[in-house]
Structure 1
Amino acid sequence: MLRNSGRGLIACIIATLLATTEASALPSVFRNTSPRATKLSAEQVGKELIPTLSTTAAVYTSGDPRWANATARWQTWNYPNVQLVIEPGSEADVPKIVKYANSYNVPFYTRATGHGSTKTLGKFTGIEISMTQLRGMTILPGEKTALLQGGVFGKEVIQFMWDRGFMTGTGSCGCVSLLGPGLGGGHGRMQGRHGLILDHFVQLNVVLADGSTTTVSEKSNPDLFWAMRGAGHNFGIVTSFEHKIFPRDGDLWYSKIYTFNSTKLEAFHTALNELAKKQIPEIINWSIYLLDPSVSTTEPVIHWAFEYIGGDANLAKPYLAPFEALKPINSVEQLLTYPQIPVAEGTHAEGSLCEKGDQRMQMNAGLKQYNVTAQRQIFELYKKNIFYDPAIQGSVIVMEGYSIQGVTAVDPASTAYALRDDDLLCAAIIRYHPNPKLDAFAIKWASDTRNIWNAGQPTRKLTTYTNYGFGDESLESQYGYEPWRLTKLRALKKKFDPKNKFSYYNGIN
């Protein structure tokens, strides 16, 4: 949908999106009070449920050509056991689907783009609610916020906003949804200026575990709004949300990408620590250890991407002087539009980082700064392990160094997201085609890397960015060590999801 300033039209749109289904009770033909789960067939659902939904709604199983795309996942190890897929054609379909699943006591979960990687998803067996048709975007009157549906993802949101003169918070990879990362935090390129994705939420339209619908904001269900921003996967299905938007700042971004050999590792990370002390909101940087055959087939390298919002190279270059002095192997300098940045830096929706179908053992740690000794240990472990098997050579160590001013400007107690003092987001991603013989090796490698990061900051408690979690981490490391946080989350869980229907994504228990 294009921008429209007519208040009458917008009122109709919002009224439609917020419509509940209380007046459309389930037909008695498929009311089922059995306490035992039932495996439903597509034929049965097609007969009983689909006629009550919007005209584009669909149900299908593994024999359907849509199945592979609907169930493909970024992490194929311990993935959800989907029995059938239901695609709602409108937001009003979602509560009907939830009530239908509940009437047969069949579990359900929601999928946007399939990038959840935690092993806790492997506990799921049941109905996937695919949000693929719910991709509407509307800039609202006043042009301060936009109404986005639950299936939107980074690439399309970035382009949509940019084309209309705006920007908003998304993840850095163009393939991931907004709600997937946003409900658990939402790091990204905009956070130095405007905070995490969850800090952009103004209002969420939510389907609860019993199929009822509610509006969640600072004024409506404020406690649930608090919980949804940081632990939202545990509380409901967001069918649409009002999201803050901002005028785009200039037409171009400045980008420079460097490659260093490992002899510069200590000096490189020391320079990064110094950069962090003076890093302004307009600066984004991230680094990666990888095997780059175009540089060397025997020695991993350090790849570093630097971005400056606004495109003024003269303002950006003073920050780069220490890195230029390290004499990189090579560098690439460009002026790009914001939608071009993910493509240039390999985080676009069609890039290798976004490819589905592989196994990725991912474990992460939050840091205040780099421990240079620990970084050397991690690199040497990477150098040793990357040649264990050719199939594993797509593995990477990623360190994200976004600006933090917009994140730390928000009161940590105001949302369920508890990790606002993590300045660096670091992850080991051990990648290979599905092969059970490599699983134990990959898990140990990722775990050893995580342990080195954490040992390098012995005075800090371990933190886990839940969106990058492996599924073996403590709840405290994800949702906060202050006792009141989990106490509050558990009380809200008991209130809004007493039967623990939403339990598959690093669940609160």
Structure 2
Amino acid sequence: MGSAPDVYATLREELKGGGSVAEVLTPDSAGYGESIKRWSEHCEKRAQAVVLIKSASDVSKTLKFARANKIPFVVRGGGHSTSGSSAIDDGLVIDLSKMRKVTVDPEAKTIKAEGGTIWEDVDVEAAKYGLATVGGTVNHTGVGGLTLGGGYGYLTGKYGLTIDNLLSVEIVLASGELVTASSASNPDLFWAIRGAGQNFGVVTSFTFQGHPQPNPVFAGTLVFPPTKIPEIVTFANKFHATNDGNQAILWGFSAPPPANAPVVLMQLFYNGPESDAKEFFADLFNAEPLVDMTSMIPYEKLNSLLNHATGFDGRKQFGGGAFKLPLNPAFVQSLLSDFTEFVERHERMGESMLLFETVPYKKVVEVPSGEMAFANRGDYYNLASMFKWFDPALDGEIREFSKGLLKKASQTAGVVQDEKIREIEGVGVYGNYSNNDVSAKEVYGSNARKLEELKHKYDPDNLFSRGLRLVPRPIVVVN
């Protein structure tokens, strides 16, 4: 293989020769600096090249070129991955961010989204036809990353996971072949994609089942002082028994600027009129929140409500666990104390959060864990940590604290990411919140063995290896 600049100049010419308008950016190219930016600054790496893909054909040609020249690569959709799997130092980035077309079939109620779309693209276009599908709770998240790892959203209580509403994908395999995967075409690949898709190829389009959503929804944030934890936990326990799938609450701790004082945040969702929502959430309003930002809004605005808390500056890390309801207020208070003590000892960490994602899971557990690769289905809710900081020297300390806090909190579900404690069905960890230091067994449970077999079938040389490893062996690229 020649020098890196020579190689990527060749790739640029090969793509142009096929009539492609894809761009190949190298460190000396205009726009390169912007192309390597990521949602988390600690995931930004200086790739040798970034290929701004415009079509599935571009993906195929780029993959074949990378294979022939033994060039490591990663795939970037929305760029939100805090595991760093969408960035690379020693190779190229296949960047899908220019592929953002969304097509709606109003008769079939289907929504087709290209591989580089973000959830805002999908929500806005689907709303033109009075439709919606299960998408992320932050609308600048990439459709690809969230979908391939499972996908929870405000509509999960009614329609299940994003992958439960996925009808088919078009995917470019490691060989460069473009295929369709669905229940009728390559069904074993479709099984694998729904939960572990990032390990099998580059998805250039997703087709989702849409659902009627013509009416606005009641949603927004309430802010409480920590002294209100007993009332909040009591309501969460009540919510577990009284919701009908048309409601959700995301609640947890933060210490946002400018005060940087600990507060309890609650994000409410009610798919119905304000009068019914106010009655359902009456206990919370009676608890006298410090701030009330709830209102009726169009559905397509719903997934933008948390954007202000999830901006692109700073270093960030997700972590995941599980919790069961009912919870004991004293236990929640102890978690708040641990969280607050850590955040207050470090500067500029106030936008960090520990979040109890109380999204109804009845529809989720109706699908057997063996139905697809995704294995986080059980009688529990997701717990998420999102730490945000600015000093690189804190990277390791924050990673270890996050693990410990989530381990403590997850004891309520009978799972502490330890094989000795396993009282629940399902793995108790959401793959999209995990980092690459976990094993395939932790994320995929009993499905891990079948995934390894399919990995050998569809990606025998393990080209797609920069995320969670399904096979315990190094990359072996064959010309």
The change in CA–CA distance for 1:422 and 1:159 in structure 2 (over 3 A counts) is farther
Contact 2:156 2:361 in 1 (8 A): yes
Match of residue 446 from structure 1? 402
Q: Distance in 1 between matches of 2:11 and 2:428?
A: 45
Partner residue, 1:213: 178
Check the 8 A contact 1:42/1:61 in 2, yes or no. Answer: no
Distance 1:101 1:331 in 2: 52
Aligned residue in 2 for 1:56: 21
Cα shift at 1:146: 2.4
Matched, 1:255 2:205: no
- In the TM superposition, residue 471 of structure 1 has moved relative to its aligned partner by 2.5
| Distance in 2 (alpha carbons) for counterparts of 1:448 and 1:141 | 47
280 and 376 in structure 1: CA distance in 2 versus 1, 3 angstrom threshold: same
The amino acid of 2:275's aligned partner reads N
From the superposition, tell whether residues 452 and 41 of structure 1 become closer, same or farther in structure 2 (CA, over 3 Å). farther
Contact in 2 for aligned 1:53/1:89 (Cα 8 Å): no
Q: Contact 1:75/1:356 (CA < 8 Å) preserved in 2?
A: yes
1:174 aligns with 2:134: no
Check if 1:334 corresponds to 2:295: yes
- In structure 2, which of residues 343, 348, 351 is the aligned counterpart of residue 386 of structure 1? 343
Contact 1:400–1:424, Cα closer than 8 Å, also in 2: yes
**In 2, distance between residues paired with 1:145 and 1:211?**
27
Gaps of 5+ in 1: 1-33
Q: 1:436 to 1:139 in 2, by over 3 A?
A: closer
1:317 is aligned to: 278
User: Can you list the C-alpha shifts for 1:75-121, whole angstroms capped at 9, x where unaligned?
Assistant: 23355552101122222221111111111011222111111111566
Q: 1:317 to 1:47 in 2, by over 3 A?
A: closer
The question of whether the paired residues in 1 share the 8 Å contact of 2:87 and 2:93 is answered with: no
Provide closer, same or farther for how the CA distance between residues 101 and 43 of structure 1 changes in structure 2, counting only shifts above 3 A: closer
- Partner residue, 1:7: none
Kindly provide the CA deviation profile for residues 469-489 of structure 1, in whole angstroms up to 9, marking residues without a partner as x. 122223222112x3xx11111
SS in 1 for 2:454: helix
CA contact (8 A) 1:209 1:497 kept: yes
TM-score of the aligned structures, taking structure 2 as reference length: 0.90
Indicate whether 1:305 and 2:267 are aligned.
yes
Please name the residue that 2:247 is paired with: 283
Equivalent pair of 2:66/2:73 in contact (CA under 8 Å): yes
Contact 1:366-1:422 at 8 Å conserved across structures: no
Looking at structure 1, the residues matched to 451 and 406 of structure 2 have their Cα atoms a distance apart, in angstroms, of 27
Task: Tell me: CA distance 1:356–1:41, structure 2 relative to 1, closer, same or farther (3 Å).
Answer: farther
Give 3-state SS (helix, strand or coil) of 2:238's partner: helix
Residue 376 of structure 2 aligns with an amino acid whose one-letter code is L
> What are the equivalent positions in structure 2 for 1:87-98 lying under 5 Å apart?
87-98=52-63
CA distance in 1, matches of 2:94, 2:437: 26
* Map 1:56-455 → 2, pairs under 5 A: 56-77=21-42, 79=44, 82-119=47-84, 125-140=90-105, 142-250=107-215, 252-293=216-257, 296-297=259-260, 299-310=261-272, 312-343=273-304, 345-347=305-307, 351-353=308-310, 355-369=311-325, 371-372=327-328, 373-421=330-378, 423-433=380-390, 435-455=391-411
Would the aligned equivalents of 2:63 and 2:175 in 1 still touch at CA under 8 Å?
yes
Contact 1:53–1:88 at 8 Å: present in 2 too?
no
Separation in 2, partners of 1:439, 1:449: 16
Shift of the alpha carbon at 1:365? 0.3
2-side partners of 1:146 and 1:383: how far apart? 42
Describe how 1:472-483 pairs up with structure 2 within 5 A. 472-480=437-445, 482=446
Code of the residue aligned with 1:384 in structure 2: it is E
Percent identity reads 25
User: Alpha carbon RMSD of aligned pairs, Å?
Assistant: 2.3
Distance 1:181 1:421 in 2: 19
Contact 1:145 1:242 in 2 (8 A): yes
By how many angstroms is 1:466 displaced? 1.1
Contact 1:39 1:106 in 2 (8 A): no
Q: What SS is found at the alignment partner of 1:284?
A: strand
- Does the 8 Å CA contact 1:80/1:125 hold for their aligned counterparts? no
Q: Does the residue aligned with 1:188 lie in a helix, a strand or coil?
A: coil
Contact residue 41 and residue 84 of structure 1 kept, 8 A: no
1:181 corresponds to which letter in structure 2? L
Equivalent residue letter for 1:463: G
267 and 292 in structure 1: CA distance in 2 versus 1, 3 angstrom threshold: same
**Which shifted more, 109-118 or 328-337?**
328-337
Cα distance in 2, alignment partners of residues 161 and 122 from structure 1: 30
Q: Report what 1:5 is aligned to.
A: none
Answer whether contact 1:184 1:230 (CA < 8 A) is retained.
yes
Aligned length: 461
Q: Is the 8 A contact 2:134 2:154 kept in 1?
A: yes
**C-alpha spacing 1:193/1:154, structure 2 compared with 1 (3 Å):** same
Distance of aligned partners of 1:205 and 1:293 in 2 relative to their CA distance in 1, 3 Å threshold: closer
Q: Tell me the distance in 1 between the aligned counterparts of 2:436 and 2:187.
A: 28
Aligned match of 1:16: none
- Tell me what 2:436 maps to: 471
Counterparts in 2 of 1:91 and 1:376: CA distance versus 1, 3 Å:
same
- Does the 8 Å contact 2:324/2:379 carry over to 1? yes
Contact kept in structure 2, 1:42 and 1:59, CA below 8 Å: no
CA distance in 1: counterparts of 2:85 and 2:24, whole angstroms: 25
Query: 1-side partners of 2:463 and 2:211: how far apart?
Result: 36
Deviation at 1:409, TM superposition (A): 2.7
Give 1:432's aligned amino acid. Answer: W
3-state SS of paired residue (2:41): coil
The question of whether the paired residues in 2 share the 8 Å contact of 1:178 and 1:197 is answered with no
C-alpha distance in structure 2 between counterparts of 1:144 and 1:119, whole Å: 35
- Alignment-mate amino acid for residue 306 of structure 2: G
1:405-433 deviation line (CA, Å, top 9, x unaligned): 33223232211111121642212222112
Q: Distance in 2 between matches of 1:123 and 1:464?
A: 26
Separation of aligned partners in 1, 2:71 and 2:369:
37
- After TM superposition, the score normalised by the length of structure 1 is 0.85
Mean alpha-carbon deviation: is it higher for 499-508 or for 388-397? 388-397
Letter of the 1:317 counterpart: K
Does residue 501 of the first structure (1) align with residue 466 of the second (2)? no
For the residue of structure 1 that corresponds to 2:98, the secondary structure is coil
Q: Closer, same or farther in 2 for the Cα pair 1:165/1:175, shift >3 Å?
A: same
Distance 2:191 2:95 in 1: 26
Aligned AA for 1:498? P
- Aligned-partner Cα distance in 1 for 2:106–2:347: 54
